Structure 1
Amino acid sequence: MPESRDAPASPASRTLGSELAEWLEGLGLADHLATAGLPTYDRGPEGVTWRDPATGDPVSDERLAELDALLRSVGDDPTHAVPVELVRLRRESRARSALLDGGWVDYAEVGRRRGVSENAARFALHKAAERRACLLVPHDGATLVPTFQLDTEGQVRDELLVVLETLLASGADPWRTWIWLTSPAALLGGAVPHEAARDPEELPVVERAAVALAERTRT
């Protein structure tokens, strides 16, 4: 590791670094710093050391103060502020874990439901994904087929086709698309989008919510 160009941390900075680490640990957000591209920290004999995400070098006193201000920038009272981006990442991490626990099937299962071979199901699903008519999610070198979008025969539900096309055309991350479609949505007054779409009267509302979300994604 190259020699750090930062000056040694001052006592005040070491105190701030420890307080910041304890605050994030208390919120359960410390594990999401790296995912957010923020400095991370480790603990040693001299206390907490915050490190630059690119170089691994200790961050300067000034950079640490900037990080503290950034994480506490939401809310009128910094003491009670919450790092919104880290909260979002924690929520998404929990949602991913829940979806991975029984919320998907593989090509073979889709083939079984459709009464075709695994290879035929794989080919059909990827062709549908190219038309933005099916959501496929990559994970650890595999491809997951979220089950919410499938009917009992393994076909993509007709009422979701417009919704999927809208979201996928926006370039939305597949995981975030999956999470949004299967979680209570503020744009729908707390209803779960894919469930609300089953109601013909609610389907237009879901489609408009998807358009709104897609527009935010593009920007």
Structure 2
Amino acid sequence: MTESADGDRLATWLEGLGLADHLAEAGLPTFTRDDDGRAVWTEPDRIDELDRLLRSEGSEPEHAVPVGLVLIARQARLRAALLETPWFTYETLAELRGASVDATRYAVHKAEQTHRLVVVTVEGRAIVPAFQLTAEGEIRPDIAPLLEPLLAARMDPWRAWAWLTQPAALTFGRAPEEAVTDPEMTDLVLHAAVRLAERAGRSS
């Protein structure tokens, strides 16, 4: 099989898995399609190496799925979903609080440093997820005790955001940030956050 055919086959396989857009993030060669629909790779001399690498997982290499790429793609989809929920920039949060942007930026930095606020960076700007704030833009007092152990353990802020806002079996299908408001579940959610922080601390 020619190098071009190999490149087309590999590209088609990755497209079929929905992983083609995540090659660059994984530090792997990427490709585009030319006017005739053929795959044009950035590093055509690495096609065989890349094919072996991506199929190295599992007992049946010809059918193996590149696990690392799958995880990257899943993370990208989750982040996109999280960004579809409400969030603030320094400017919009300052407007809500009726404060200056500088004062708001300082308050956000201080809360982040003391592990009481999730802040993520998107395209070079800080984003503050709204779930952890009151209607007035202040930190929810019931959320801070959940955030402190997670962020102190150096858990990735995106992961903390996801864990707190996604439905969980532990909390009977409710998101932890919602379940913590139920007096009957508060201790359970706090304990779960501490245990998760312990695991995150061991793996960091």
CA distance in 2, matches of 1:99, 1:60: 34
The TM-score, its normalising length taken from structure 1, stands at: 0.74
Aligned to 1:28: 18
Report the CA distance shift for 1:13/1:197 in structure 2 as closer, same or farther (over 3 A): farther
Give the one of 22, 33, 55 matched to 1:69: 55
1:98-120 Cα distance to aligned partner (Å, 9 max, x none): 33335201234333443433332
Dislocated runs of 4+, deviation >6 Å? none
Of residues 99, 102, 114 in structure 2, which corresponds to 1:131? Answer: 114
| Aligned residue number for residue 185 of structure 2 | 202
Once the two structures are superposed, the pairs formed by residues 117-156 of structure 1 within 5 Å of their partners are: 117-156=100-139
How much has 1:131 moved relative to structure 2?
0.8
Per-residue CA distance 1:146-169 (angstroms, 9 max, x = gap): 100001121111121122111211
What's 1:58 paired with? 45
> Which residue of the partner structure matches residue 37 of structure 1?
27
Alpha-carbon separation, structure 1, partners of 2:71 and 2:168: 14
How far did residue 24 of structure 1 move? 1.7
More divergent stretch after superposition (188-197 vs 25-34): 188-197
Once residues 171 and 66 of structure 2 are traced to their aligned partners in structure 1, the CA distance between those partners, rounded to angstroms, is 25
For structure 2, the 5+ residue unaligned runs are: none
Q: Deviation at 1:176?
A: 2.6
Count matched residues.
201
RMSD: 3.0
C-alpha distance 67-110 of structure 1, shift in aligned 2 (>3 A): same
- Aligned-partner Cα distance in 2 for 1:172–1:95: 16
The equivalent of 2:176 in structure 1 is 193
In 1: Cα distance, 2:151 partner to 2:192 partner: 14
| Residue number in structure 1 paired with 2:140 | 157
CA distance in 2, matches of 1:202, 1:19: 52
Task: State the one-letter code of the partner of 1:58.
Answer: D
Q: Is the 8 A contact 2:23 2:29 kept in 1?
A: yes
TM-score w.r.t. the length of structure 2 is 0.78
2:188 partner amino acid: V
Q: Any unmatched runs of 5+ in structure 1?
A: 1-10
Counterpart CA distance in 2 for 1:110 and 1:187 is 32
Q: Secondary structure at the match of 2:166?
A: coil
Q: Tell me if structure 2 keeps the 8 A contact 1:13–1:64.
A: no
User: What residue number does 1:116 align with?
Assistant: 99
